[in-house]
Structure 1
Amino acid sequence: MLHLALAGNLLTSIESGPQLYSIGLLPTYGGPADVILQSQIPLRLERCEKSNLECFLKIEAPYQAPPKLTEEEENVNVSFLALPAAGALETYKSIGEFYTKLEDMIKKSARYVTFKNKNLQFSPKEFFADKMIEVTDQESAHNALKIIIDQGEGSVGVEDAHYQMFLDLYKRRTEWECHAVPNSPKAEMYKENKLVYELALASNAAYCYLLITIQKTWQVSNLVLRRALISNTHSIMIDIMTPIAEVMVEEPFQDGKAAPPFQFYPTNAGEDLSRVDEAANELREAIKLHLGNAINEVRDVKKKEILNVIKFSVDHVLWPIPVLDDSA
């Protein structure tokens, strides 16, 4: 979440902020076209085993710098900072290489970029304390990206770095057992099992509700609403998405267990940025609808209680509700 917040601050400082709730931007999994990066690494949802971990290691692989250029070579075709277009990751072999290129572009961008929208960015008082950086100039932009690189993608030997964590998991991959879940599941796969199908739809709606909540946070400066949105983010992940997934992986499906599909859940409001609150309301109501349907299918008293607690959490999220003024 820290890296997402920093990347969102970077984008908000030079544009209008990220759009996360979008069918064209959400990854899809398991199909022949579902790949990432120049090396066409397959995007799959599957149990945490050898092939899956190898994909993560390839995606997070550290960037190997090219040979040092002469001063004359350095000055040829120097470009200014331009935001990577959709699909731009296809030109990079790893996320580490992408971030290293972005870092270089930031260094060369000083006279081309005007930084703005500090009041719409995550601040240290709201999120991650001293690790959070509000991007107001070239130096803070570079510092924000450096944290992402050092702690996450493309880092070697940093204890909490993504690459190092996946490497450690890969070395220990025989030490645990994984749920036998289907590869890259889709909600439609579960239609014959009414309970699992409704849970899958609730999970999809909650996933998109999380994305649109985070997206909304970069659109408002009202402190009361921002705190509600940040509280929502935590509640959706911990009190809604996680327990739905835990119930799903206890449900039999084919030769193993079911699992969340992480798909786009459409709304009548669509992806119009001026109708974000409407879309969020629809998503929240969809979670409640599908949880209610799932509760009606459950015969186990304990499982019914768990689902009712999740539904209670959905009823008590803080956004969107009319009493909050969402004016910026």
Structure 2
Amino acid sequence: MYLIDTDNAQPNSPEQGAVDDIRHIIGQEMLHLVIAGNLLTAVRGRPQLYGEAYAPKYPSEILYEGVLMTLAPARPYQFENFVEVEQPVHDKIEQDETLIKTRTLAQYESIGEFYESLKDGLKKLHTRIGDDIFDADSAKRQWGENDGWFEGELSSITDLKTAEDKLSLIIEQGEGGPPLTGSKIAGQSHYETFKRLSELNLKVHKLAPNPNTKQFEGREKSYPAMLAFDAAYSYLLWTIETVWTYAGPDESKKQKLRKNIGPLMFSTMKPLAKFLVHQDLQTIKKKRAGPPFNLYIFSTSTSPLGELKAIISDAVAAYPDSAELKGIPAAVNGLFDLGDI
């Protein structure tokens, strides 16, 4: 949800400060994602990001209060939604069992409360079982300190102390936590940052909210570029997941998987997003396309990388004069084929 706001602020404007704030939060959110996946891997779980049941859908409601999560321009109401997600909760309220069953993380009133519950659960399990709750061999399948794509204090999780430290880091950086008084983490919490940004009226591109790529097929010239973004985004999710789940002996494959991250994020998705926010839609008046962040499911009968290359090729062919898109095929050509796992 944060990613769409990074690329839709007008360039060369006072909004650049807000873009920098959001970009910093994106880096931390990526770190939090990887820490959570590392923890699940450490306790013999299987992190899943790629697939209909796991990828985010927009709009959707999360937490007990049903905070609405949408893909939309960086307007005050959008930041207010982020504030609701990140804000600390002081008073426990009586919960409705129906809502708990129908909303994501509905038994929790904040993201911070969710992570605190993980810490409590780990402590109880460790008291009963001891260090056996952790898989000693899982470190080689976790993202670690040598993986430079993830900003911050990243390391593999192998014991209770490391797990508690990393979950505390997430809370301190602002996942529903209070201001960082006395914390070793510099800067404002996410809660504070979004609260400040919610008071601004930023100049942003007029993007269509919650774009569904399929609805534009055969109706918009920008459809191939939207589909290309979705395919690259989904390939990224699949890559991150596969690092955790690949247990084969081939160390070279593990390294190649990790090297997919940079080209996908910075040389494929970023230029596609920058291109899309300037494409006027014909089917929705006075709106632009924007990166859709829809899940794309690759065929099981062909090479996933070959399929991604073909989709990228179609997007570039639709806009042969686009400077933003020209370098993408070379970046994709250097990716590791997930079909080889």
TM-score (norm 1): 0.79
Match runs of 1:1-328 below 5 Å: 1-30=30-59, 34-64=60-90, 89-110=105-126, 111-112=128-129, 114-116=133-135, 117-127=138-148, 131-158=153-180, 159-171=187-199, 173-174=200-201, 176-220=202-246, 222-253=250-281, 254-269=285-300, 281-282=303-304, 284-298=305-319, 301=321, 303=322, 305-320=323-338
3-state DSSP class of the match of 1:307? coil
Q: Report the Cα distance in structure 1 between the residues aligned to 2:236 and 2:272, rounded to whole angstroms.
A: 14
Encode CA deviations 1:31-53: one digit per residue, 9 max, x unaligned.
Answer: xxx21111111221111111111
Where do 5+ consecutive residues of structure 2 fail to align?
A: 1-29, 93-99, 181-186
Q: Which residue of 1 aligns with 2:20?
A: none
Letter in 1 for 2:287: G
Q: Aligned pair count?
A: 288
- Cα distance, 1:59 vs structure 2: 0.9
How far apart are 1:155 and its partner, in Å? 2.5
Give me the whole-angstrom Cα distance separating, in 1, the residues matched to 2:104 and 2:314: 41
In 2, are the aligned partners of 1:12 and 1:18 still within 8 Å (CA)?
yes
Alpha-carbon deviation of 1:192?
4.6
Q: How much does 1:219 deviate?
A: 2.4
CA distance in 2, matches of 1:130, 1:178: 29
1:123–1:134: 8 Å Cα contact kept in structure 2? Answer: yes
What displacement does 1:88 show? 5.8
Deviations 1:95-132 (A, max 9, x none): 12211222222222212362011221122233469812
Provide the identity percentage.
29
What is the distance in 2 between the residues matched to 1:61 and 1:182?
A: 27
The 1:168/1:206 distance shift into structure 2, 3 A limit, reads same
CA distance in structure 2 between the partners assigned to 1:102 and 1:213 by the alignment: 25
C-alpha separation between the residues in 1 aligned to 2:269 and 2:315?
A: 15
Q: Which has the larger radius of gyration?
A: 1
Give per-residue Cα distances to partners, 1:185-225, cap 9 Å, x unaligned: 11133235443111111111111100000001112465433
183-192 vs 209-218, which moves further: 183-192
Q: Is the 8 A contact 1:155 1:164 kept in 2?
A: no
Give the superposition deviation at 1:146.
0.9
CA contact (8 A) 1:205 1:265 kept: yes
* 1:214-259 deviation digits (Å, cap 9, x = unpaired): 0011124654333322221121011111111111111111312111
Unpaired segments ≥5 residues, structure 1: 67-83, 270-277
RMSD (Å), alpha carbons: 2.6
- Counterparts of 1:35 and 1:320 in 2: how far apart (Å)? 32
Report SS of the residue matched to 2:74.
coil
Q: CA deviation at 1:160?
A: 4.8
- When normalised by structure 2's length, the TM-score is 0.76
Take 2:101 and 2:160, find their aligned partners in 1: how far apart are those partners?
21
